[in-house]
Amino acid sequence: MKIQLKYNKTALREFQKKLQIRERALPTLKNKESVLRAMVLEARKEIEHINGLLLSKTKKNESWKNLWQEFNTNLIQITKVHSTKIKVAGIDIPVFENLDTMEQDFSLFNNPYWFRNGVQELKDVLEIRVRKEYFSNKILLLEQARKKATQKVNLYEKVQIPTLASATRQIKRYLEDEENLAKAGQKLLKQKLKKGIQS
């Protein structure tokens, strides 16, 4: 952060104001960053749980692998995904609620009996995958917000606050030195005037 110093009281007040703003904002930014970090960890645990559900579904249907090859996956389609948005630390995060699916009619006489159960299994897998996608997106959004917050904390802590504090000190010293020199000059002038009057 490059600052152009002007050695006057106006510049001093301006730098003090900027410094004060950043010092007040820093704890809030640190808090925001830690909240976002905790939320990222929580979302990662949730996605691990969803991955576990998906894996258990896959293992459950593993024994039916040969039968699934004859299953018509076009029997079910996602028509709409319902979600809401929540605001977390200033960012909108979409939250999965449920999904609407459309089932094509199929004949139970021309298809194996297990197709009805297969449609339900496929619905469950589709819902888990959509939920996983939403959580992946949530992690991505939270991670981006956390990185920005961390960058801002570092910028304030390591660059702007020290630079502004240093500039404030320099201006104060300069103004104090100028004031001391003016006082010393006045003292000398008084002494000269006093000597001039006495002689």
Give the pLDDT confidence of 75-99 residue by residue, as tens digits: 778 889 999 998 887 889 998 999 9
113 in Cβ contact with 64 (< 8 Å) = no
Note the pTM of the prediction, 2 decimals: 0.75
Mean pLDDT across 31-44: 92
Domains and CATH numbers, the chain: 14-175 (1.10.287.3240)
Q: Given a cut of 60, is residue 34 above it in pLDDT?
A: yes
Give the pLDDT confidence of 121-178 residue by residue, as tens digits: 888 888 999 999 999 999 999 999 999 999 999 999 999 999 999 999 998 999 888 8
Residues 6+ apart with CB under 8 A from 87: 93
The token pair at 184 is: 């010393």
Within its chain, how far is the Cα of 145 from the centroid?
Answer: 2
